Structure formats: structure tokens, C-alpha cells
């Protein structure tokens, strides 16, 4: 790797870290669409998810429409709670991806980005995580 490329990578990481600090937490309570599906649009990037807290109802279908903000850093979303009927993951791209599931149990379940660069903290450790709260 050329010195210029290393400097660009370091600069990019510094800018991204600065932007991550500026992110504000946001909660969305899913509303039920006329077709009986709870839909929520999400964005991920710069070590955040927006929203980072989602509230849905148990035993009703959920569709999370996730996309990545423009940028070079790769991100994904992992939401695994098989005991509650939830087991989804996807690479985030600038084009939206729909993750569909029906939660079968109430509770609070963590979603996160599992990416990690070399010896740096994981994206999850840098704050790229949130919760799905399933209620009655």
C-alpha cells in the first residue's frame, strides 16, 4: 500500500469517527400498514443505525427496509434471536434491502454491525448497534 493510500485511509477513519460521535439516538414505533405488515426504514453507516431503537408488536409480520449511507466503509446488520422467530442478516448497500420476519416472543433483542478492520474496534464496539423491542 502506498503512503498516500495509507494517509487517505487514516483520514477517512478519522472523519468517520467524528461523524459517529454526532449521531443522535432515535426511537421508532412501527405502525401497522393496511396489509397487516409493520414496516420501518433504517439507515446504517458511520458507526450508527437510524433508528437505533425500534418497537414492534409480537406475532405480526415486520419488514425492515435497510440501506447504507454513501461511503467506503462496509457495513451489515445482524439480528439473531431464533428463540423469538427472528434470524436475519444482510450486507448494507446504498440500495435498500428488505429483511422480513415475524417475532413470536416479546422482549428486547440487539441488532448490530459485525464488521471489524484489522486491530481496530469492531463497528459494534464503536456504537453501531441498536435494539428491537417486541411488545404485546
CB 85 within 8 A of CB 70: no
How far apart CA 72 and CA 12 sit, in angstroms, is: 9
18 or 4, which is more confident? 4
Q: State pLDDT tens for residues 45-97.
A: 999 999 999 999 999 999 999 999 999 999 999 999 999 999 999 999 999 99
Tens digit of each residue's pLDDT (9 = 90 or more) over 13-44:
555 544 444 578 999 999 899 999 999 999 99
* Largest separation between any pair of C-alpha atoms in the chain: 56
Give the global pTM. 0.82
Pairing status of strand 129-135 against strand 53-57: parallel
Q: How confident is the model at residue 121 (pLDDT cuts 50, 70, 90)?
A: very high
List Cα–Cα distances, 33 to 21, 30, 58, 96, in angstroms: 34, 9, 15, 19
Please give the class, per CATH, of domain 3-135: mainly beta
Q: Does 103 have pLDDT greater than 80? A: yes
CB 28 within 8 A of CB 66: no
Amino acid at each position: 500500500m502506498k503512503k498516500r493510500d495509507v494517509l487517505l485511509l487514516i483520514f477517512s477513519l478519522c472523519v468517520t469517527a467524528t461523524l459517529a460521535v454526532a449521531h443522535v439516538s432515535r426511537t421508532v414505533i412501527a405502525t401497522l400498514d393496511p396489509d397487516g405488515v409493520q414496516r420501518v426504514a433504517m439507515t446504517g453507516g458511520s458507526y450508527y443505525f437510524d433508528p437505533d431503537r425500534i418497537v414492534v408488536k409480537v406475532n405480526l409480520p415486520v419488514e425492515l427496509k435497510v440501506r447504507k449511507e454513501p461511503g467506503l466503509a462496509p457495513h451489515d446488520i445482524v439480528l439473531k434471536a431464533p428463540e423469538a422467530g427472528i434470524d436475519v442478516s444482510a450486507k448494507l448497500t446504498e440500495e435498500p434491502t428488505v429483511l422480513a420476519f415475524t417475532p413470536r416472543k416479546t422482549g428486547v433483542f440487539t441488532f448490530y454491525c459485525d464488521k471489524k478492520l484489522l486491530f481496530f474496534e469492531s463497528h459494534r464496539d464503536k456504537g453501531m448497534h441498536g435494539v428491537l423491542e417486541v411488545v404485546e
